[in-house]
Amino acid sequence: MKRSIAKRLALMFALAVLLIMSISATLLRCSLKQSLDEQMQNELVLRHSVLDPVLAKYDSPTFWVGLRQKLDGLTPADERVRYWILVDNPAFSYGGAMPDGQDWSKRADGLFTVDLPEKERPMMVLLKTIPAMGDRPELRFIVGLDSTPFRKTLNHFTKILILTSALGIGLVALLGYWIARFGLGPVRRLSRQANSLPPGDSKQRLDTEALPGELQELAVSFNGALARQEAAWCQLEGFNANVAHELRTPLTNLIGQTQVALAHGREVGELQDLLQSNLEELERMGTIVNDMLFLAGAESGQRATELSDVSLYEEASKTVEYLEPVLHDKQLGVEIQGDMRVCIDRRLFHRSLANLIQNAARYAVPESTIKVSLVGDGMQVEVRVSNAGAPIDSVHLERLFERFYRADAARARSDAHHGLGLSIVRAVASMHGGRVFAHSENGFNTFGFSLMNQAAP
């Protein structure tokens, strides 16, 4: 079963009331019990105050005949009140024997509870000692009160307390449920609104204005998620268009050249030239497809696996050596600073560094020096490639690492640079748990990536 907030709140309210009711009921019951006990004591004291002086006054057994009748008369038929006179001389005793085992010296105030076999509840008794006088020995005069009616009152009160508490708890649970449902109305309205967002319209957002403060945050986050979805969707759509666009040009060339060749020249030399040119186009297409497969792999979370422990300076020098012809055209120099040993995939490192240096060479001022710096600690390294060149607008800077994004789109389309170079740098960084960055300041453009040392714990 799904957990409902309203039910949970109702349960919590009910538990809170249960706690409060239990505490107050216990206190009430204790105080009632105490006042009932006091009431019983008062009655015992009152009866003693009337009878004690009478007993004290007389010393003859003849008077006791009258006294016994009087005490009989004072004892109600249900024996709710009883009297005992305990004394060795039977001429002065009354009320029969007390149950065995009573230690009357135990309490100075003379208050005891006595279990009588015929009574359902013990009797509360008050004992007073009447001093000896003449022939009469010392007497122990006991007045007893049946606690049954008092206990019944207490039990009745307890039952009513439990009943009202249970009723109160039930009512609070019901009301709590209703209040919670009422209070959660905005949540239901929000979910209805979310449900009714039309499919396919990625511009639609939840209306956050009318919502209570607590829900606004949720709705804003939800809208944020929608915005990200929209951005991802746009990028995907743009990506599809870009892929189609990139592949269309070489395909058109291939088709056109092949058609022309079929229609006219059939010389072996001509056909060889055609095949050569077709092969170049096909290779270009192959590169795009391979790059895209590589990016797709990195995007699905693939990590660098062919790791080796290398000196970054040595590896960077090899990359620069390999790119010598590119640098030579514009008389560019390369300066490598820093070195450290890290465990990375060297093939991927070469690939992304080469992409950065190629870009730098393309956009650098002729005869300038490209700086490659390797900084970091045992955990991670940052590889930065900077070249002197025209400043890059910050609007572009943020997006250059996106696939097929080029700052100078019009110029780039025609040549071999299909706009995946920096995306590949980003993929390589993410395969090593790193990130990419780009700055353009003081006439220098810096592009770089970081790599986590894969040997670090």
Ligand X SMILES: Nc1ncnc2c1ncn2[C@@H]1O[C@H](COP(=O)(O)OP(=O)(O)O)[C@@H](O)[C@H]1O
Contact footprint for Mg ion (CB under 5 A) = 359, 421
Regarding beta strands 436-441 and 369-376, do their DSSP bridges make them parallel or antiparallel, or are they unpaired? unpaired
Distance CA 221, CA 317 (A): 47
**CA dihedral over 62, 64, 65, 66, signed as positive or negative:** positive
- How is residue 453 written in tokens? 């040392």
Distance CA 249, CA 254 (A): 9
Distance CA 420, CA 298 (A): 13
Measured from the CB atom, the residue of 381 and 385 that comes closer to ligand X is 385
Please, which of residues 203-232 interact with ligand X by CB under 6 A? none
With binding defined as CB under 6 A, does residue 422 bind ligand X?
Answer: yes
Chain centroid to Cα 150, Å, comes to 54
With binding defined as CB under 6 A, does residue 274 bind ligand X?
Answer: no
Report the residue from 128, 136, 384, 418 that binds ligand X according to the rule CB under 6 A.
Answer: 418
Measured from the CB atom, the residue of 151 and 362 that comes closer to ligand X is 362
- Residue nearest ligand X (C-beta atom): 421
With binding defined as CB under 6 A, does residue 448 bind ligand X?
Answer: no
CB of 355 to Mg ion, least distance (A): 5
CB of 439 to Mg ion, least distance (A): 17
CB of 385 to ligand X, least distance (A): 7
From the list ligand X, Mg ion, none, which binds 110 (C-beta under 5 to 8 Å, kind-based)? none
From the list Mg ion, ligand X, none, which binds 447 (C-beta under 5 to 8 Å, kind-based)? ligand X
CB of 419 to ligand X, least distance (A): 4
Which residues fall within 8 angstroms of residue 345, CB to CB, at 6 or more apart? 304, 305, 306, 307, 308, 428, 431, 432, 454
Report the residue from 352, 355, 430, 450 that binds ligand X according to the rule CB under 6 A.
Answer: 355
Report the residue from 412, 435, 437, 439 that binds ligand X according to the rule CB under 6 A.
Answer: 412
Helix H or strand E encompassing 370: strand 369-376
Please, which of residues 40-59 interact with ligand X by CB under 6 A? none
From the list Mg ion, ligand X, none, which binds 44 (C-beta under 5 to 8 Å, kind-based)? none
**H helices within 264-363, ranges in order?**
268-299, 312-322, 324-329, 346-363
CB of 3 to ligand X, least distance (A): 49
Residues found in the chain:
457
With binding defined as CB under 6 A, does residue 453 bind ligand X?
Answer: no
Contact call for residues 299 and 239 (beta carbons, < 8 A): no
From the list ligand X, Mg ion, none, which binds 318 (C-beta under 5 to 8 Å, kind-based)? none
Distance CA 323, CA 338 (A): 20
> What interhelical angle do 346-363 and 312-322 show, nearest 10?
50
| Footprint on this chain of ligand X (rule: CB under 6 A) | 355, 359-360, 363, 387, 389, 392, 400, 406-408, 412, 417-423, 445, 447
